[in-house]
Amino acid sequence: MKVEEIPDPAVYRLSFYLRQLEAFRHLNRNTISSKQLGEALGYTDAQVRKDLAYFGQFGHPGIGYRVEELIARLKKILGTDKDCHALLVGVGNLGRALLTYKGFPRKGFHLVAAFDSDPGKIGRRYGELEIQAMSEIVRAVGTLRIRMAIVAVPPESAQDAVNQLVKAGIRGILNFAAVSLTVPEDVFVQSVDLALQLEQLSFRMSLGTIQNSLAAPM
Amino acid sequence: MKVEEIPDPAVYRLSFYLRQLEAFRHLNRNTISSKQLGEALGYTDAQVRKDLAYFGQFGHPGIGYRVEELIARLKKILGTDKDCHALLVGVGNLGRALLTYKGFPRKGFHLVAAFDSDPGKIGRRYGELEIQAMSEIVRAVGTLRIRMAIVAVPPESAQDAVNQLVKAGIRGILNFAAVSLTVPEDVFVQSVDLALQLEQLSFRMSLGTIQNSLAAPM
DNA sequence: GGATGTGAATGCATTCACAGCA
DNA sequence: TGCTGTGAATGCATTCACATCC
């Protein structure tokens, strides 16, 4: 099985399997069947088995999957078996919240440097970190061997920030700015648009009522 | 066309079309073709036309789509043509950042009440809002006619918070806790797991290197 | 000419269903 | 018996390609 032919949705679900397995481990479950894992997440058992089979043979016929073992395997596949350093650009309200977000270190992600373009913020400390000028990014990436960055700047300055990150050698970007970004094809961008999520929720909540407005002249 | 048979991915892309159209409007573009809109977002022109056609006939042959018109139509479809009130549960670092997040009001979403279970926080003010006890949720939902909530509590207490929200009459929940939630089927949950996003990025960044680890014994 | 909207064709992802193993 | 892993079948989403209209 070549990596390229693994469906994107399957990779995405892999993270959910891992999260759910850790919940099961917390309940002292030793083994789990594809049926049980699927039910906890709203997938079919066949879906779970096929997804996992893309990556190898992890199950034990008659038994199911050993929770501890599968967690270790999935972490290795997802690349979260080792700790990983990342930097943050944009230390506004959202950026500061991300600096102290417990979910990141829990998965082995550590923010080890923070940058902002506002001269008034440079030199201030938030938690462990002292905010640095954008011009320091290149040096920090080099000395700290950082490959991943989180962008939490206003939409207008996001592409500019990203350009600087790419130039500094960053290979993966988690983007919170509500804009489409352009990057070289060897750089990966994962975007999270918080307001867009709320908008999607809004649509799904009005499913019943929308029927009319589709036909209506407006 | 029945709403139920519109593909989920198409609904999701609708939000991206809207976002991109607003960017084009900002550049004073009056009309735009499916090709141009698609290129800005990495979709084909056929994809754009088919997606939009699920919801009605918005285009003008030979011309394309009128930016202003299409924005108004999409907003109406997504339900963001009117302002919408929402409440927040969990006023930790992330919750506080969401209280002041500019992207929400920009799309017409307004956080009008905030709740926390920590007695030490109740009565404190953040920005406009005074933090209230969880027990006040029912009353607030009733008097302020709120239908939407944002959950930013630790994973352990998320299901409990959600139960209270559902009981109070909330119909849509944007969940930032890293757990799978159980809700009645007439309640909609949209979940955002920040660490999971970083994990997905981690996987995609290691695509080249992973080949081995798939076969490897571990 | 230049663009949309849309049935038909393709391609992908999910589900079925069963052989095989503990 | 209970469960995995997997080819075959189904079902969905995307793309093609063209009739249609400005």
Q: What is the pLDDT of residues B9-20, one digit of tens each?
A: 999 999 999 999
Q: Is B27 on the interface with A (CB under 8 A)?
A: no
Minimal CA separation from A133 to chain B, in Å: 22
Give chain B's mean pLDDT. 94
Of A172, A180, A195, Cβ closest to residue B107: A195
**pLDDT beneath 70: ranges in chain A:** 1, 4, 208-218
End-to-end CA distance of chain B: 50
Query: Are the beta carbons of A198 and B86 closer than 8 angstroms?
Result: yes
Could you give the CA distance from residue A140 to residue A135 in angstroms, rounded to a whole number? Answer: 10
Instruction: Kindly tell me if the per-residue pLDDT of B212 is higher than 80.
Output: no
State the pLDDT at residue B216.
41
Select from B37, B52, B78 the last residue of a domain.
Answer: B78
Say if residue A135 is in the same domain as residue A68. no
CB within 8 Å of chain B, chain A residues 73-112: 73, 76-80, 84, 86, 93-94, 96-98, 100-104, 106-107, 109
Residues A89 and A185 in one domain: yes
Q: What is the CATH number of the domain that holds A186?
A: 3.40.50.720
Q: Is B215 within a domain? A: no
Total structural domains in chain A?
2
Contact B194 A101 (CB under 8 A): yes
Res. B207 pLDDT band, cuts 50 70 90: confident
What per-residue confidence (pLDDT) applies to B122?
98
Mean pLDDT of B63-86: 98
- The reply to whether B51 and B145 lie within a common domain is no
The three-state secondary structure class of B130 is strand
Question: Which chain A residues contact residue B84 at CB under 8 A?
Answer: 202
Asked whether residue A51 is assigned to any structural domain, the reply reads yes
pLDDT of B205 strictly over 70: yes
Residue B95 and residue B25 share a domain:
no
Confidence of residue B127 (pLDDT cuts 50, 70, 90): confident
Question: Cβ of A195 under 8 Å from any chain B Cβ?
Answer: yes
Residue B55 with chain A: CB contacts under 8 Å: 214
Taking CB atoms and an 8 Å limit, are A80 and B193 in contact across chains? no
Considering the domain boundaries, does residue A164 fall inside one? yes
Q: How many Å from the CA of A186 to C1' of D13?
A: 27
Domain endpoint, select from A56, A76, A96:
A76
CB-nearest partner of B188 from A16, A107, A205 = A205
Distance CA B63, CA B66 (A): 8
What local confidence, expressed as pLDDT, does residue B5 receive?
A: 84
Same domain, A51 and A104: no
Q: Evaluate whether residue B209 is within a structural domain.
A: no
| Interval A81-110: pLDDT, tens | 999 999 999 999 999 999 999 999 999 999
Confidence check: pLDDT of B217 > 60: no
Determine the distance from the C-alpha atom of residue B44 to the mean position of all C-alpha atoms in its chain, rounded to a whole number. Answer: 24
* Residue B45 shares a structural domain with residue B101: no
Please calculate the CA angle A190-A192-A198 and round it to the nearest 5 degrees.
Answer: 155
Residues A118 and A27 reside in one and the same domain: no
pLDDT at B208: 57
Quickly give A122 CA vs D6 C1' distance in Å: 57
CB pairs A-B closer than 8 Å: 206
Same domain, B91 and B151: yes
Q: Are residues A187 and A146 in the same domain?
A: yes
- Pick from A18, A100, A195: which is nearest to B103 by CB? A195
> Do A187 and A92 share a domain, yes or no?
yes
User: To the nearest whole angstrom, how far is the Cα of B190 from the nearest Cα of chain A?
Assistant: 6
Residue A207 in domain = no
On whether residue A209 sits in a domain, the answer given is: no
Contact (CB, 8 A) for B66 and B34: no
Judgement on whether residues B125 and B151 belong to the same structural domain of the protein? yes
Is pTM beyond 0.85? Reply is yes
Inside any domain, residue A43? yes
Nearest CB to B201; choose among A172, A193, A213: A172
In a domain, A213, yes or no: no
pLDDT digits over B140-183, tens only?
A: 999 999 999 999 999 999 999 999 999 999 999 999 999 999 99
Which positions of chain C lie under 7 Å from any protein Cβ?
Answer: 1-7, 12-17, 20-22
Query: Given pLDDT bands bounded at 50, 70 and 90, which one contains residue B1?
Result: low
Angle at A201 between CA B67 and CA B19, to 5 degrees: 25
Domain CATH code at residue A51:
1.10.10.10
Q: Which residue in chain A has the smallest CA separation from B104?
A: A195
Digit-coded pLDDT (tens) for A148-179: 999 999 999 999 999 999 999 999 999 999 99
Whether residue A94 sits in one domain with residue A191: yes
Last residue of a domain, one of A30, A53, A76: A76
Q: Which domain holds residue B167?
A: 84-197
Q: Which long-range contacts (CB under 8 A, 24 or more apart) does B56-64 make?
A: B56/A214, B56/A215, B59/B34, B60/B31, B63/B31, B64/B31, B64/B32, B64/B33, B64/B34, B64/B36
